[in-house]
Amino acid sequence: ETGVTQTPRHLVMGMTNKKSLKCEQHLGHNAMYWYKQSAKKPLELMFVYSLEERVENNSVPSRFSPECPNSSHLFLHLHTLQPEDSALYLCASSQSPAFGQGYNEKLFFGSGTQLSVL
């Protein structure tokens, strides 16, 4: 039991499809994150939610749309993706608030969704 569960584990979609990635954390954390992991590149932070409010959006294309209905669930809605969007998408959670606390709390990660866009 990892504490952070991501589904699906693998996803293949065409460029015209609409799909959603799901993340659920069972750790009682109040912040959740989406990261993109491409081969041989550093992880890229896409979105941060704290207390269900989006607090960071690192210039991610609008074809990626996050949703955080409550502190335990995080979604990433995908539409009209490009082949270069193929990557491993990792969800993470932490106890630290988004701003102002300076905590060094670690991130707890899920096992990711391996996305292939054809």
Partner 1 sequence: AQTVTQSQPEMSVQEAETVTLSCTYDTSESDYYLFWYKQPPSRQMILVIRQEAYKQQNATENRFSVNFQKAAKSFSLKISDSQLGDAAMYFCAYRRYNNNDMRFGAGTRLTVKP
* Interaction site with partner 1 (CB under 8 A): 2, 31, 33, 40-43, 45, 48, 50, 55-56, 58, 88, 90, 92, 96, 98-102, 104, 106-107, 109-112, 114
Rounded least distance, CB 34 to partner 1, Å: 12
Q: Which is nearer to partner 1, 4 or 81 (CB)?
A: 4
Residue keyed to tokens 């939610």: 49
Q: Is the Cβ–Cβ distance between 78 and 31 less than 8 Å?
A: no
Rounded least distance, CB 48 to partner 1, Å: 5
Q: Is the Cβ–Cβ distance between 14 and 82 less than 8 Å?
A: no
Dihedral angle computed from the Cα positions of residues 62, 67, 73 and 74, in that order, rounded to the nearest 10 degrees: 10
Rounded least distance, CB 67 to partner 1, Å: 18
Q: Which is nearer to partner 1, 33 or 64 (CB)?
A: 33
Q: Which is nearer to partner 1, 14 or 116 (CB)?
A: 116
Rounded least distance, CB 64 to partner 1, Å: 17
SS3 per-residue string spanning 35-94? EEECCCCCCEEEEEEECCEEEEECCCCCCEEEEEEECCEEEEEEECCCHHHCEEEEEEEE
Q: Which is nearer to partner 1, 77 or 106 (CB)?
A: 106
